[in-house]
Amino acid sequence: MKTTNSKSDEVTPARIVTHWRRFSCGLWRIPQGDISAAYSAECFPKVRVFTHEGRLYSNGGGCSRFLEAEADCYALIPLDEYSGPREVPYSYEGREATYRGRVFRLGPKTKFVASDPTVEECRRMIRVCYADGGYFASRCTYSVFLTERFKATSPNGKAALAAELAECQIRQMPQTQDEMRRLLAGESREVNSRQLDFGL
């Protein structure tokens, strides 16, 4: 539910926290998420959609950094059910949009926010990011990548970064991207083997 800021009479959009994978743009070995795929600013008034709790939304844009993301989204409302404003400055609210040949009006802005991945998920993604060349990883060791190139701001991201730095001090970690790719390949084979054993 949106609320009004009494100081400025600006409307604060509703905020929904949902699984971080829904915001994936298809990088770092994670398939594109449905919220990312519903980005429609470049094809508006035709829109792409995703579903949340049985309702269709379109993604009007947002911001993301590594596993942290948020998007300004708008519910699709049938024309005969819409009772809001026809136009809102700096917003898609009230504008007509077409999905599968049907015309809708877009409801109030709803801010969808990515959940914080677990520490283990963050640790794996930091390794993948290094192996695949993200954040200027080329020509630096993993330790340099962790201390000078990669930044984390979420609680679990910070904990993951600290755990990876501690791991570098405890044991020999990959010093090149090729070594990290081999480590990740070995981890994947180990996980698959455990899953097969469990199935037997």
Please name the residue that has the structure tokens 């994670």. 30
Which residue segment(s) compose the domain that 162 sits in? Answer: 119-187
Q: Are residues 61 and 92 in the same domain?
A: yes
Left, alpha or beta for 106 (phi > 0: left; psi -120 to 50: alpha)? beta
Q: What is the mean pLDDT of each run of 10 residues along the chain (200 residues)?
A: 49 92 91 97 97 97 88 97 93 97 97 97 95 87 93 94 93 88 82 50
| pTM for this entry | 0.83
Q: Are residues 84 and 102 in the same domain?
A: yes
- Residue 191's pLDDT is what? 52
Q: Are residues 56 and 131 in the same domain?
A: no
- Residue 193's pLDDT is what? 52
Residue 107 belongs to a domain: yes
- Residue 187's pLDDT is what? 77
Phi, psi (deg, nearest 5) at residue 170: -80, -40
